[in-house]
Chain A
Amino acid sequence: MEQCDYDAVIVGSGIAGAVIAKTLTDAGKKVLLLDAGLESGMALGGPQAYQNQMTYLDTFYKALAKAPNSPYPKLKNAPSSDVLEVQPVEQMDHKSGYLVQKGPLPFGSDNWVGPGGTTQHWLGTTLRMLPNDFQMKTMYGHAVDWPFRYGDLRPYYEMAELEIGVSGDVADQQRSLPNIGADYFSSGYEFPMKKIPQSYLDHQMLQLTEELEVCNPYLAGSHVVRCCSTPQGRNSDPNPKYGFERVAWDRIGQKLVMKPRLHAGYTPVGSLWDSYTGQRCEGNAACVPICPVQAKYNALKTLKRAKEANPYLLEIRSQAVACEAVVDPDSRRISGVRYKRYESDDSRVYREHVARGKVYIFAASAIENAKLLLASNAANSSDQVGRNLMDHMCLLTWGLFPTPVFPFRGPGSTTNICSFRDGEFRREHAAWICPIDNWGWGWPEFSPGSNVAKEVANGIFGKRLRRELNHDLTRQILLHFECEQDPQPSNRVTIDPRYKDRIGNYRPVIHYDSSDYVKKAFRAAKLISNRIFEVNQIMDKTEYLVSEPDYWEFEGSGYTSRGAGHIVGTHRMGNDKRESVVDPDMRTWDHENLFLAGCGNMPTLGTSNPTLTMTALAFKSAEAILRQLEA
């Protein structure tokens, strides 16, 4: 075997890469982590970290469109997708922008390439998947089964919840979640922190919505609406009963274990620059795109802990854009990762290097991992790389509550309707989760700014303007029915030599569409939303416009879909190497020293935000990587 500088080379500094880097270095392994973003952005503490946050905030305050990536640098040498670039496919000019959208529907979600990855702009919701999500084929005859069950992943979920620092309530979830069985949580399990308080708005909605009976056009009988507080990676009151201190590598047993604390309790992890800041969520109500005090988890917190614990084992190399995996033609092992190191984003000048390690982990995000593998002609004997691209397709409904509910406050969502996350209806149509949104009509209509613009354009001014705006803005309600998309091989990421970025790396080419499985869910969800609005006397103000990019018609009605930013599926796991890209340990079938991390591994999406699941998977594969390194 050739001389390797590192035990592992990791591409990507998002939560998957960060967790694997930390787990490996904690176990004494030498790791090189390549990040495509700016070196200054990788500051893990001190004045530079503070300065970065202040700069991001300043950019955010001044942005006209407060899109998810708006605070962060737009790098030409390491581009990110941007929701502001999304238009109807016919209108798109493929010369500009990052994603090349071939349609028929434009892919409406974005992620961020840079230090900490998309956890910089994520909302922070940390939901586990449900047991039936892992066996869709067996239970409902749709999609595929995972190569293992929920129970196999459960211990890793606990590790993920410790690493992120999750605030939640076990009893709430046990009471409300459908079909979870008695073993959903291990006996006596507690979250590190108590649940984030549910909003005043939630409490007004819950009164008539909880236990409401509704009908589904695709299924006989009625269903009961149940709501649940939403667990999230955001600091709240510590749970005095929380018993774990850290995840550790048990060399003898060759597995990861959770070490118990000497005394129960938990200390919230605050901001990078000052541990006193960010000890609690302070209600900034801007989680997407940025938490000013860093009460919300971001992956730099994990990298900081890793660097502090093992400064000489973890090397982070910035402004390093991976462009190709080097495959040894005889052994089929990966012998290096070629990357382009740029001096500054002001110029296209770069130098190429090759990073070498015993094991390689691609953790660059679902779309970027696929792109990298395709560019390398690697790991694709199954022809599944880039395929089965999935997202939550969201149906938004909005209106005015009869009395003030005071939105635009608190975290983006503190309660969700969970009764349709699983059930027999999944034979007919997609499941959904419906978070109750705390931020008014911001998402569909760019409120509150758009409201004042409309009123003023109608000639309203003075006290009447103030009164009318106050009346409407304090009553704004928004629901989003986030529907699970089924895996379709034709929904995919590909590459094309005609489409490259400034330093010659491929731009992702996306083919994307919806299916009747999702469209039926939209129809059912809209009817249920109508019922919820009716019972609560919410004046429906929902409008779907033909001109919107993701508009379609189904069974006589028009709907607009929006992407949730939950990008998964592009290099899925399986038991059969002909139908999957990685094995249950997330090792590629084709190359025994190449592992893939992130949401691309997920064969189905379920109805949860995928971050918690992919973090659990990261711990699972880190365990397998350590076994392999020590074999």
Chain B
Amino acid sequence: MTSNNMLYRQERNPQRHRFIRSDQPLTLAPDTPVFEEIEDLRQALQFAVSLEHFTIPPYLCALYSIHESTNPEAARIIRTVAVEEMLHMTLAANILNAIGGKPVIGSSKEPLPTYPHEMPKIATSFPVNLLRFSKDAVNTFLRIERPAALTKPPKTGQFRSIGEFYASVREALRRLDHKAKKKNPKGIFTGTQKQVTNEHYYGSGGKLFGVRNLDDAEDALDEIVGQGEGIDGSIEDGDGASFGDDVEYAHYFRFNEIFHERRYRPHDKPSDAPSGDLLRVDWNAVYNMVPNPKMSMFTVRPGLHKKAREFNRIYTKLLKNLHNACNGFPDALQEGIPMMHAMRIAAVDLMQEPCGIGNYTAGPSFEIVP
């Protein structure tokens, strides 16, 4: 185990992970899609990278639309979640690197959906939009993070939830590594590219680490799923103290606090709405960003269009930078950090200018530009 991981394990909060990793064999539902071979698994992990990537622009739009110095709690929660999604994206890329794959970010080989769009491969029926901070936006986040209590069965090749997808990834990792270890002590973990660790990316609580073997990969998945849903799909089943100051609970519950404008009490049930102290939210202290902005909406105002394009120029450059960082050059991330800050400033500038559509202002469209 790398010393990085040892540090991480010591700092892990045992309570948070209580619901997640059991050492019992993993059983998937009979209709859960399975990743048969190593190439399928690599594609699945690439999909994981793209999926995490997909969730980030909606969080950022909501975050940037909150007026400066207002809604500090909500802003902090969304910012933390966005940072953690970037962490998940990077962890998935690290796993993919570890099993000899090459992550793709932001190039034509990674087709990025434009918003509104449904989440690919996950059996949900709601579109994901780029929205200003609002109950609608937070509701979308809840549905992204929550395992769907299904009212309709998934189509072939679809997963019930993000959690189920990662369960299948975990199953494949275990099965294929076990098989490969018969011939090679490294199993499927043959990758040699340098990975991204918390030396290169900070502010996520030091939970970013390199993946060198199955244990590391499982730790990474624990991190992703633990922060995401928290309870392996069994959200309704938790008992005992799930919440409180010492427990760092999953994204779903944090969003629920914003939605209901209340904090959880230590003995609240996960299936209930939070019943604790008020969490103040001012839903009006936001920029009135046009939903699902597109550069093409602003062509009648050349100055605005230029700015919208400038945002996308920086975004495109950032994706290239992330791509390089995840493909053996993690130090490149140092150049990416100022780009993220510049994106924030450009996004707020856009949200401050009326765009000529109703009372709306413009906004960042997260489109790749050549």
Contacts and interface: CB of A to CB of B under 8 A. Distances in A.
Contacts of B3: 263-265
Given A54-B69, A263-B6, A265-B7, A279 B203 contact: yes
A275 B3 CA distance: 22
A264 B338 CA distance: 28
A280 B202 contact: yes
A276 interface: yes
Contacts of A282: 341
A238 B199 contact: yes
A264 B7 CA distance: 10
A238 B198 CA distance: 10
A280 B203 contact: yes
A274 interface: yes
A542 B203 CA distance: 42
A50 B341 CA distance: 22
A429 B338 CA distance: 44
B282 to A, nearest CB: 15
Interface string A267-303: 1100000111101101100000000000000000000
B3 to A, nearest CB: 5
Contacts of A264: 3
A51 to B, nearest CB: 9
Contact of A50 (B6, B72, B80, B206): B72
- Contact size range, B: 10 to 19
Interface in B7-30: 7
Contacts of B338: 283
A280 B206 CA distance: 13
Contacts of A240: 199
Contact of B80 (A265, A276, A283): A276
Contacts of A237: 199, 202
A276 B199 CA distance: 15
A267 B72 contact: no
Nearest to B72: A50
B157 interface: no
Contact of A276 (B6, B69, B203): B203
Contacts of B127: none
Nearest to A265: B7
B76 interface: yes
Interface string B172-213: 000000000000000000000000000100111110000000
A477 B206 CA distance: 38
Interface residues of A, number: 18
Contacts of A54: 69
A199 to B, nearest CB: 13
B76 A274 contact: yes
A463 to B, nearest CB: 15
Contacts of B7: 263, 265
Contacts of A268: 202
A602 to B, nearest CB: 36
Residue from A263, A265, A276, A282 with most neighbouring chain B CB atoms (10 Å) = A276
Nearest to A236: B202
Interface in B66-89: 69, 72, 76, 80, 83
B128 to A, nearest CB: 26
A279 B80 CA distance: 14
Contacts of A280: 202-203
Nearest to A277: B203
A267 B205 CA distance: 10
A264 B202 CA distance: 18
Interface in A539-565: none
Nearest to B338: A283
A291 to B, nearest CB: 16
A280 B201 CA distance: 10
A274 B204 CA distance: 12
Contacts of B202: 237, 268, 279-280
A5 to B, nearest CB: 32
Interface in A233-278: 237-238, 240, 263-265, 267-268, 274-277
Given A50-B72, A54-B69, A282-B341, A267 B203 contact: no
Interface in A127-176: none
A604 B338 CA distance: 42
A274 B3 CA distance: 26
Interface in A207-229: none
Interface string B335-355: 000100100000000000000
A268 B199 CA distance: 11
Contacts of B76: 274
A139 to B, nearest CB: 43
A572 B202 CA distance: 43
A238 to B, nearest CB: 7
Interface in B48-78: 69, 72, 76
Given A274-B76, A282-B341, A267 B206 contact: yes
A267 B8 CA distance: 12
A276 B6 CA distance: 20
Interface string B203-233: 1111000000000000000000000000000
Nearest to B206: A267
A506 B69 CA distance: 40
Q: Which 5 A-B pairs have the closest CB atoms?
A: A279-B202, A263-B3, A279-B203, A276-B203, A280-B202
29 contacts: A50-B72, A54-B69, A237-B199, A237-B202, A238-B199, A240-B199, A263-B3, A263-B6, A263-B7, A264-B3, A265-B3, A265-B7, A267-B206, A268-B202, A274-B76, A275-B205, A276-B80, A276-B83, A276-B203, A276-B204, A276-B205, A277-B203, A279-B202, A279-B203, A280-B202, A280-B203, A282-B341, A283-B338, A283-B341
Given A237-B199, A237-B202, A238-B199, 6 more contacts: A263-B6, A263-B7, A268-B202, A279-B202, A280-B202, A282-B341
Interface of A: 50, 54, 237-238, 240, 263-265, 267-268, 274-277, 279-280, 282-283
